């Protein structure tokens, strides 16, 4: 990965390490900052984050995806400096976050960051409205302005009329709406969401994901979203980073992970996804010359699920166009292969579906 910072990125981190153990700084310096995982483990250190580098672009939803213990929570806490990284650099909106003083850090958090937590982390002694405007309160915003903001946020997250309730009087989904509301109260540039929907029932989870997408379509925040659920990741993400034992094993669009998995670990995740919802015409199209010039057209960015009926109904390949220009062709076999025949093509066990 590149070692220089990406100036356009909202968050940019390079070579971030977080080790737990007796004296991690000394250990890292001793190994010139790049020990192998085995060296780390043999020395009795726990590698929570290993040489992580990534850029989060403005307005992008980046999902950190991994199983429990993969270091995704630690990584996001390094990005927000809730946890002090052992080494590496983190830039936030062009500011060197790790060099920021305590006061500066508080200032950044007060105005530019918002975070949603897995178990909601609401303050039990505060009403919903008081929870939501808590970040404003600690800044010293006066109570009239706070009340006005609380009403706005309550409307935004769909909790009108519940401002006077206490968290324990609400359902899980509603509580997380409060958590979301609180994290948005200061209109942050960056929105961290740490497994926000994992503690919810599947139906509510689905509803909250829709709600999240709706909010993002209005707010256009820069988002770092953590999940252990691959289908949630592909549903929400612009890009996905897969973590394994503290390392980012692959970072890319959902489609890339499915079509070009970097490791077996990633392939295992990608195996059970509904490929027709992810793969686009672009990723499975053949040569443009295969299609008759007068054939119907499909957009390169369209997912197979949308265009499959047209392709399958057509006796000849269709033309794939991008920005009005023909860039490729798509026939029945390509679609069928991509959606249903992929497992065999990869030589792994073929499932019934």
Q: Is 20 near another protein (CB under 8 A)?
A: no
284-286-289 Cα angle (round to 5): 155
Distances (CA, A) of 205 to 23, 208, 229, 231, 308: 41, 5, 11, 12, 29
Using the minimum distance from each CB to another protein, give the nearer residue, 67 or 106.
Answer: 106
The interface with another protein within residues 182-211 (CB under 8 A) comprises: 182-183, 186, 192
Q: Is 124 near another protein (CB under 8 A)?
A: yes
Which residues, in sequence order, are CB contacts of 51 under 8 Å at separation 6+?
15, 16, 17, 34, 88, 247
Q: Is 138 near another protein (CB under 8 A)?
A: yes
CA dihedral 222, 242, 193, 124 (to 10 degrees): -170
Q: Is 113 near another protein (CB under 8 A)?
A: yes
Q: Is 121 near another protein (CB under 8 A)?
A: yes
Which residue of 57, 166, 277, 310 would you call a contact of another protein, by CB under 8 A?
Answer: 166
Q: Is 271 near another protein (CB under 8 A)?
A: no
- The strands making up 247-252's β-sheet, listed across from edge to edge, are 113-116, 190-194, 222-227, 61-65, 239-244, 247-252
User: Given the rule CB under 8 A, which of 58-66, 75-83, 209-217, 289-297 is the region that contacts another protein?
Assistant: 75-83
Which residue of 14, 91, 109, 275 would you call a contact of another protein, by CB under 8 A?
Answer: 109
Q: Is 225 near another protein (CB under 8 A)?
A: no
Q: Is 134 near another protein (CB under 8 A)?
A: yes
Which residue of 33, 37, 123, 201 would you call a contact of another protein, by CB under 8 A?
Answer: 123
Q: Is 176 near another protein (CB under 8 A)?
A: no
Q: Using CB under 8 A as the criterion, which residues of the chain lie in contact with another protein when the complex forms?
A: 77, 80, 82, 106-107, 109-111, 113-115, 117-127, 134-135, 137-139, 164-166, 168-169, 179, 182-183, 186, 192
């Amino acid at each position: 990965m590149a070692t220089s910072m990406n100036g356009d990125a909202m968050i940019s981190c390079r070579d971030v390490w977080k080790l737990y153990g007796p004296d991690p700084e000394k250990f890292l310096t001793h190994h010139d900052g790049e020990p192998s995982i085995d060296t780390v483990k043999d020395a009795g250190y726990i590698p929570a984050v290993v040489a992580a580098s990534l850029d989060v672009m403005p307005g992008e939803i980046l999902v950190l995806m991994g199983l429990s213990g993969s270091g995704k929570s630690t990584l996001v806490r390094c990005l927000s400096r809730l946890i002090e990284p052992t080494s590496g650099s983190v830039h936030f909106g062009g500011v060197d976050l790790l060099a920021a003083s305590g006061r500066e850090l508080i200032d950044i958090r007060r105005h530019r960051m918002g975070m949603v937590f897995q178990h909601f982390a609401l303050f039990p002694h505060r009403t919903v409205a008081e929870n939501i405007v808590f970040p404003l309160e600690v800044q010293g915003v006066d109570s009239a302005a706070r009340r006005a903001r609380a009403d706005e946020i309550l409307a935004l997250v769909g909790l009108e009329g519940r401002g006077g309730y206490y968290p324990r009087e609400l359902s899980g989904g509603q509580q997380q709406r409060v958590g979301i509301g609180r994290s948005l109260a200061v209109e942050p540039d960056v929105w961290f969401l740490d497994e926000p929907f994992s503690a919810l029932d599947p139906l509510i989870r689905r509803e909250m994901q829709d709600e999240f997408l709706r909010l993002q379509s209005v707010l256009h925040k820069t988002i770092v979203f953590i999940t252990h659920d691959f289908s949630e990741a592909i549903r929400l993400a612009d890009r996905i980073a897969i973590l394994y034992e503290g390392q980012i094993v692959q970072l890319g669009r959902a489609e890339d992970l499915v079509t070009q998995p970097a490791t077996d670990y990633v392939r295992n995740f990608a195996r059970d996804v509904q490929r027709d919802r992810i793969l686009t015409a672009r990723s499975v199209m053949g040569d443009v010359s295969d299609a008759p010039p007068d054939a119907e057209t499909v957009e390169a960015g369209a997912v197979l699920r949308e265009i499959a009926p047209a392709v399958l109904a057509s006796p000849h390949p269709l033309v794939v166009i991008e920005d009005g220009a023909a860039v490729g062709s798509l026939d029945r076999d390509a679609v069928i292969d991509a959606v249903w025949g992929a497992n065999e093509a990869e030589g792994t066990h073929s499932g019934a579906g």
